[in-house]
Amino acid sequence: MPETIVLAYSGGLDTSVATKWLQEEKGYDVVCLMVDLGRLPDVPSARERGLSAGAKDVAVVDARDDFLRYFVFPALQAGAVYEGSYPLATALGRPLIAKLLVDKAREVGATAVAHGCTGKGNDQVRLDVGVNTLAPDLTIVGTTREHSISRDEALEYAAKHSISVRQTVASPYSTDENLWGRSVEAGVLENPWNQPPEDVYEWTKPLDQTPAKPTVVEIRFERGVPVALDGEALSPVELVTRLSNLGGEHGIGRIDMVENRLVGIKSREIYESPAAVILLEAHRVLEELTLSKQQVRFKNIVAQEYADLIYNGQWFTAHHRDLSQYVASTQRHVTGDVKMRLWHGTVMTVGRRADRSLYSEALATYNKEGDLFDQSHAQGFIKLHGLQAQVQAQRQKIGRAHV
């Protein structure tokens, strides 16, 4: 009896060819698994293609809600952004895909799992490490890593094995997308001096086509999780989808960066992440109101660490667990509303309020009436605050010749 392997299947040409290749070259029975993280291609045609390539089954899992609740929102609460720009959409999807591959393998009694990630990227690391952590007994086959072929060779292989290739599109780019964002690389983008052609973008309008008038959207957070738009309570999927569309209309969320991959390569990538860009900013603004100065400073350090561990495929680790406990604790009072103005590619905060805000108008006001701040305390405070500077300047003549 052949052993069974579960393949992370996208429905495209490469994983359809891989479906056949795993049977022919490796002798496996293949179960294809399509994980829906928000932007699945045409499922019926992908199913048909998988079956025509000899898959025993092509299963589809709707993981959109879990993806947002257990992967994206914790990263949002942490403020996790890789190297200052990348909201980690692709990276956040991988540990969940690893988990679902393992679940499916258990369900069908498979001894192995497979994916089509390139051997030069981060995604192979995230999937392999995820699977190895959750199920060390499973064998992992990287089909592209072991057997890399060109598109023409793939088409030839498909024709030879009667794999239906109708509706597989030839894209000049390598793309990945889910509810949190879209990643685009390769082709002309490989030269970082090249301006991205407009066909790179699918979710966001170019600035000369964005609406003349701004949209102001009110986002409600509860404990750091977005729960409503303009007063309407929404499910995570609904909320993120709406914000993504709205932001895209206004040309928000285009990111063009050169990043440091885990495997040592610098790569140029274009991202479209309208919902992420809006929500990360709104969440940060709400923390300005609700966290103390030390909390904000320290949490920024944690955010970097958190982003790195997501990027580097270390989701299923004790380190992550520890950091996430800290982050969750910081979110206890991050409840309130933020008003964001979306316009011509920019997102600007125009108002905020929080149920347990630390902002006190009575302390901040320049009006005499109702002012609770006792200005007579300022002088003594400043004297002590500046004491070291003053002594040092006198004894060591700082400010005159530096001798």
Question: Which residues are designated catalytic?
Answer: 14, 94, 123, 174
Residue 10 near ligand ARG by CB under 6 A = no
Write out the H or E segment, with its range, that includes residue 363.
helix 361-364
d(CA 278, CA 336): 16
Q: Which two tokens stand for residue 78?
A: 């942490």
Answer yes or no: are the C-beta atoms of 64 and 38 closer than 8 Å: yes
Q: Which two tokens stand for residue 8?
A: 């992370």
Q: If we measure between CA atoms, which residue out of 118, 120, 60, 64 comes closest to residue 92? A: 64
Q: Within 10 Å of residue 147's Cβ, how many Cβ atoms?
A: 17
Q: Helix (H, G, I), strand (E, B), or coil: what is residue 4? A: strand
Binding segment for ligand ARG (CB under 6 A), chosen from 41-49, 173-181, 231-239, 383-391, is 173-181
Provide, rounded to whole angstroms, the least separation between the CB of residue 147 and ligand ARG: 18
Q: Which of 8, 91, 110, 338 binds ligand ARG (CB under 6 A)?
A: 91
Residue 90 near ligand ARG by CB under 6 A = yes
Residue 98 near ligand ARG by CB under 6 A = no
Residue 175 near ligand ARG by CB under 6 A = yes
Contact flags string 122-141 toward ligand ARG, x per CB under 6 A? xx------------------
Q: Which of residues 219-258 bind ligand ARG (CB under 6 A)?
A: none
Binding segment for ligand ARG (CB under 6 A), chosen from 1-9, 138-146, 169-177, 278-286, is 169-177
Residue 269 near ligand ARG by CB under 6 A = yes
Binding segment for ligand ARG (CB under 6 A), chosen from 106-114, 172-180, 210-218, 299-307, is 172-180
Our CB check for ligand ARG shows the closer of 128 and 269 to be: 269
d(CA 388, CA 394): 10
Q: If we measure between CA atoms, which residue out of 102, 105, 92 comes closest to residue 313? A: 92
Binding segment for ligand ARG (CB under 6 A), chosen from 183-191, 203-211, 349-357, 372-380, is 183-191
Please report the DSSP string for 124-167 in residue order.
HHHHHHHHHHH-TTSEEEEHHHHS---HHHHHHHHHHTT---TT
Provide, rounded to whole angstroms, the least separation between the CB of residue 60 and ligand ARG: 21
Contact flags string 193-212 toward ligand ARG, x per CB under 6 A? --------------------
Q: Helix (H, G, I), strand (E, B), or coil: what is residue 352? A: strand
Q: Which of 185, 272, 287, 337 binds ligand ARG (CB under 6 A)?
A: 185
Answer yes or no: are the C-beta atoms of 357 and 267 closer than 8 Å: no
Please report the DSSP string for 14-43 in residue order.
HHHHHHHHHHHTT--EEEEEEEESS----H
Our CB check for ligand ARG shows the closer of 90 and 290 to be: 90
Provide, rounded to whole angstroms, the least separation between the CB of residue 133 and ligand ARG: 18
User: Burial, 258: exposed, middle or buried (Cβ in 10 Å; 0-12, 13-18, 19+)?
Assistant: exposed
Please report the DSSP string for 227-255 in residue order.
EEETTEE--HHHHHHHHHHHHHHTT--EE
Provide, rounded to whole angstroms, the least separation between the CB of residue 98 and ligand ARG: 14
Q: Which of 31, 72, 112, 184 binds ligand ARG (CB under 6 A)?
A: 184
Q: If binding means CB under 6 A, how many residues of this protein chain bind ligand ARG?
A: 11
Binding segment for ligand ARG (CB under 6 A), chosen from 59-67, 69-77, 177-185, 281-289, is 177-185
Answer yes or no: are the C-beta atoms of 302 and 319 closer than 8 Å: no
Our CB check for ligand ARG shows the closer of 7 and 31 to be: 7
Binding segment for ligand ARG (CB under 6 A), chosen from 16-24, 159-167, 179-187, 284-292, is 179-187
Provide, rounded to whole angstroms, the least separation between the CB of residue 261 and ligand ARG: 6
Residue 272 near ligand ARG by CB under 6 A = no
Provide, rounded to whole angstroms, the least separation between the CB of residue 307 and ligand ARG: 11
Residue 177 near ligand ARG by CB under 6 A = no
Question: Up-side HSE of residue 323: CA atoms within 13 Å toward CB?
Answer: 26
Q: Within 10 Å of residue 322's Cβ, how many Cβ atoms?
A: 10
Listing from the earlier edge strand, what are the strands of the sheet with 139-142? 57-62, 29-36, 4-8, 112-115, 139-142
Write out the residues near ligand ARG by the rule CB under 6 A.
90-91, 122-123, 174-176, 183-185, 269
